[in-house]
Amino acid sequence: MNLNIPSPITKLNSIFLKKKSVEIYVKRDDLIHEIISGNKSRKLKYNFMDAQTKDYTNILSYGGPYSNHLHALSYMSKKLNLKSIGVVRGQKYDKLNPTLSFCQINNMSFYYLNREDYRHKKYDPLNLQLFRKKYGEFYLIPEGGNNLLGLNGCSEILSEVDVNFDFFCCAVGTSCTASGIIRALKKNQFLIGFCPFLKILEQENNIKKWTKSDNWKLVPDLFFKGFGQIDQELTLFVKKFYWNYNIKLDLIYMGKLFYHLFNYIQRDFFKKNTKILVLHSGGLQGLHGFNFDFK
């Protein structure tokens, strides 16, 4: 697979940012690959290398019905002649959505867990035993690629950056990307992770498992009522962002990140002449489920 790594860095230019004396640079991981865009290739890179070294032919992982992670994993598995199994949160529907349809085209098998079992028992030994009985032996990649191999892939992002920045901003799902970045930050740099959730204790605890550093903070969804919740204000913001900066954002992660970040800037949270580096972690495939149009 041909990956556009290192991904380019784009500086945002607008009257608003100039007036606030804040510089924003965007690490365009959305341009790494048309399918495996964003941080997905970085989190999966060493996991797939490890699986192949150990001669696994089945890859099993987890995600929601619109999972960017499962979307990318199914594609990589097929390209590498591996079989993929997706343990999907929620009930099975008669008609697959665009994300799961793509996964199915890439020969991914699905196993559905209800939300309660998914939240509390997805890694339960009895479930893993059931999966092995059904699919045979498999290489397990945690949801979102959230393990040490995934962290190591994400830590490499900063080795590609030649911009001196004060703050690093990223969207946070499982917190794998944020944890990897924190491990690579300099002492005078600070990470702000924007979560599309109302409660962020789980994500904070995940980060604390991987790092002792305190140069980071997570911000919950302050405007849109939680994960997967969107409204007309957010969709209009994402459209205007594209019109102003020619960069597409998804509605679940990156749209909310920039909405919150611009709110911070509007309220003068950052000192003048602050430089901010934002990771664009992709996720644009999810827009198909909303029939979204940037026009």
Q: Note the pLDDT tens digit of each residue in 81-119.
A: 999 999 999 999 889 999 999 999 999 999 999 999 999
The pLDDT tens digits for 64-88 are 999 999 999 999 999 999 999 999 9
208-145-180 Cα angle (round to 5): 45
Give the long-range contacts of residues 198-207, CB within 8 A, separation 24 or more.
198/225, 198/226, 198/227, 200/172, 203/172, 203/173, 203/174, 203/175, 203/178, 204/175, 206/146, 206/174, 206/175, 206/176, 206/179, 207/175, 207/178, 207/179, 207/182
Q: At what angle do helices 254-266 and 232-245 cross, to 10 degrees?
A: 80
Q: Which pLDDT does position 292 carry in this prediction?
A: 59
Contacts of 162 (CB under 8 A, 6+ apart): 9
Q: Which pLDDT does position 273 carry in this prediction?
A: 98
Fold match flag (9-38+149-290 vs 40-145) = yes
pTM above 0.75?
Answer: yes
CATH label, 9-38+149-290, candidates 3.30.300.10, 3.40.50.300, 3.40.50.1100, 1.10.3720.10: 3.40.50.1100
Architecture per CATH, 40-145: 3-Layer(aba) Sandwich (3.40)
Domain ranges of the chain: 9-38+149-290, 40-145
